[in-house]
Structures are given as structure tokens and as C-alpha cells.
Amino acid sequence: MSEPLLLTREGAVAIVAINDAPYNRMSLDFMDQLENLVENIAGDDTIRAVVLTSEGLDHFSVGMNLKQLPEGIKQKGSAEAVFDQRLNVISKIENMGKPWVATLFGYCLGGGLELPLGCHFRLAAEEDAQIGLPEMDLGSVPAWGGSARLSRCVGSHHALDMILRAKKISGPEAHRIGLVHEVWPLNELKARAVALAHDLAAQPALAVRSMLNVIVGSEEKSLATLLTQERQAVTANRGTADSHEGMMSFLEKRKPIFNQPLPHDSRD
């Protein structure tokens, strides 16, 4: 059997792809592998941005392979443990301090939307995307944080419309309601996501991490907490090599080059 998940690198950008085309189901093996990969990416300072995509151009993902749920319960000990693993992985992505960019195309259903909802940027295909949380049609409800994150992303008005009607929306509609940041033709989508990730990876890593810490989950924080976190970010980024580079590039009217390695210490 092929690996359920593929990892490739382009410099400071990691590209994570679900490898079960055409439907790219999120199998038990996939989630175990993703859990380990997320831990490794979090601890690898050479990775500064991540693209989440899938193999092929048919579908991003139809979500969990429901036929495997009984086996998952047997392996993990309970249905709650199966769902907790997924909730924890998505939370770690969201709170990692490194930007993740998800591509939405074809079917993006159930977990195939809930996982991208934990990412910081979402790009959708201009044509043929079907994006939704259709669990209601199965007599169930989203179980991987979908209702909470979708509501936070697009507001309760649109979240209720999508969830209670098991509604699937297009890429342009997802862009209209604020679910995705950009829409591109399908044949350009993955390249655009990688280009965005490279742009993000080129930004000063500490400043990016600082702003993710302030902004992620900001809807649940008081203004006083946000202002305190912003001041902490200002202090942490004052006097850094990247702040010096930013100022010098401004004065010299050139593009800054951030995240440069420290000069080699000749005493080593």
C-alpha cells in the first residue's frame, strides 16, 4: 500500500499531501502519520510555512473513512479517543506559530473542511469545489471542531445555513462569505498556495509567530488581553536581527532579506 501522507520540501516550505486519490479519505493511518508529522514540523525551525493539499486534482478530501470507525474505536479505546486525536492535531496546527495554507478543491466535506479550518489561510478552486459539513444528512453532527471553527470564521448566520441544511458551497461562494482568502482556477491552485507559503516563509519568523499568537483565537480574548499580547510581541521583536534588517532595507530602498543565518563564530 502507498503511504497515506506525502511530505515534500521547497526550501523553508513543507508541502503535506493526503495520498489516497481520488477521494483522499483521512484514514486511521493518515491521522497517526499526520499527528507525528505535525510534531516534527513544530520542532523544525527550518520549516517556516506549510501547504496542506492532496494528491490529484479530483478532490481535496471527503473526510474520515467512516468504515474504519469501528477499527479506530478498537485501536484507541473509544469513539471519544478517535475524535480527540483529530481535535488535538487540528489544534496543534492552529496554534503552532507557523502559517499553514490549505487548498480546497473538489469535495471538501466533513473532516475535509474541518482540517483546513484549523489552517491560517485557505485557497479554493474557482470551479467544481463542493465545500461543506454535511453530517446532518447522516443524522449526525460535525465532530472535529467544525461547528465551532466555521462559526468563528463566517459567523453563526452562515454556519447555521451550511450545517443545518448540510449545504455544499462553491469556491466563489466560500470566498464571498469569508471562508477562504482567495479563489484560483483549479490548474493554478496548488502553485498559488505554494507561492503564498513562500511569501509567508520569507517574512521574519519571530514576528510571524508573535502575530499568530495574538490573532489566532482573538475572538475569544478581551481587548486588554490582546493589547497585552501585542505589547509582548513588540518587546520580543525589538532589536532583533530581522528588525535591524527591516530598517536598513527601508533606508537603503531595497527588499529585506529576513531569517538570515547567524554569522559563523570563528571560535567554534
Q: Active-site residue numbers?
A: 114, 135
Angstrom distance (rounded) from CA 101 to CA 50: 6
DSSP string, the chain: ---SEEEEEETTEEEEEE-STTTT-B-HHHHHHHHHHHHHHHT-TT--EEEEEESSSS-SB--B-GGGHHHHHHHHSSHHHHHHHHHHHHHHHHTSSS-EEEEE-SEEETHHHHHHHTSSEEEEESSS-EEE-GGGGGT----SSHHHHHHHHH-HHHHHHHHHTT--B-HHHHHHTTS-SEEE-HHHHHHHHHHHHHHHHTS-HHHHHHHHHHHTTGGGS-HHHHHHHHHHHHHHHTT-HHHHHHHHHHHTTS----SPPPPPPTT-
Angstrom distance (rounded) from CA 118 to CA 149: 8
CA distances from 9 to 46, 47, 49, 89, 267 (A): 10, 9, 10, 21, 32
